[in-house]
Amino acid sequence: MLSYNFNWSIIWTEPYGQWMLQGIWVTIRLGLICWFIALALGIIIGTFRVTPFRPLRIFGAVYTEVFRDIPLLVQLFFWYFAAPSILPKSIEMWLYRGLPDSEFWIVVVGLSIYTSSRVAEHIRAGMQSISHDQYFAALSTGFTHFQTYRFIIIPYAVRIVMPPLTAECLTVFKNTALAMTVGVLETTFMSQQIEAYTFQGIEATTAASLVYMGITLAVVFLMGLVEKRLAVPGLITRSGGR
């Protein structure tokens, strides 16, 4: 019968501990950048989906369907392998050759666009759940269409869709693991490197799993605070507060 010598401490000895910490930092940085870009893009595209201006509605619908329906891994491969040959030369030179850590920023582009298409659908659903009376009431008080969306519609929509937005934020951080497929030195990549050097696969995989679990628990806590802050007074939020 084969025996396995479990050695947890080897994961955190030099240089492996330094590798893991480097991977954790890349994962957190990648997830945060992608989430904030995706949230901003998603709000814009989601607003396009419900605007009276038909060309913007069509653009929003096409954007959402294209980037939501294609698997993220395929999109990352497209941005990494195919896009350089079809992008304008100036953009190709800047993104793929001019930036340090170009693989990192290529993943930022792919993951942000993919996530924004999903966020846009949540924002659209939130906006469509708002009564038309609020829209026309804002216009009757002298608000422009832009001001109505900025100060009334979008804030209400974000408040309504906070739970699914939390789920999307969690998904962003978990999807950063796919960045290893294009050479980004994030947590999963580093855990695989540690396994290759130490042959301690269980320890390396367990360490990576605990890292992702810790990140997601922190995200849930922070998003719960935001949800509580935005909640309608008197209603119980997901975190149990009022």
Q: Residue 64 belongs to what domain range? A: 21-186
**Nearest CA among 187, 163, 203, 169 for reference residue 38:** 169
Per-residue pLDDT of 180-200, as tens digits, reads 999 999 999 999 999 999 888
Q: Read off the pLDDT of each residue in 113-122 and give the average, rounded to a whole number.
A: 96
The reply to whether 216 falls in a domain is no
The reply to whether 12 falls in a domain is no
Torsion, Cα of 58, 62, 65, 68 (10° steps): -120
**Nearest CA among 191, 23, 41 for reference residue 111:** 41
The reply to whether 199 falls in a domain is no
Per-residue pLDDT of 128-179, as tens digits, reads 887 777 777 877 888 887 788 777 777 877 788 888 999 999 999 999 999 9
The reply to whether 167 falls in a domain is yes
pLDDT grade for 1, boundaries at 50, 70 and 90: very low
The reply to whether 200 falls in a domain is no
pLDDT at 8: 82
**Amino acid in position 114:** Y
The reply to whether 85 falls in a domain is yes
Residue 119 near residue 34 (C-beta atoms within 8 A):
no
The reply to whether 138 falls in a domain is yes
What CATH number does residue 125 fall under? 1.10.3720.10
Here the tokens at position 137 are 């009431």
Residue 238 has pLDDT above 60, yes or no: no
pLDDT at 96: 85
The SS3 of residue 131 is coil
Residue 55 has pLDDT above 90, yes or no: yes
Q: Indicate the burial class of 75 (C-beta count within 10 angstroms; 0-12, 13-18, 19 or more).
A: buried
Per-residue pLDDT of 206-220, as tens digits, reads 999 999 999 999 999
Please state, in angstroms and rounded to a whole number, the distance separating the CA atoms of residues 202 and 222: 30
In this structure, is the dihedral angle defined by the CA atoms of residues 13, 188, 175 and 34, taken in order, positive or negative? positive
What is the tally of structural domains in the chain? 1
The reply to whether 111 falls in a domain is yes
User: Crossing angle for the helix pair 102-128 and 54-69, nearest 10 degrees?
Assistant: 120
pLDDT at 9: 82
Please state, in angstroms and rounded to a whole number, the distance separating the CA atoms of residues 117 and 111: 10
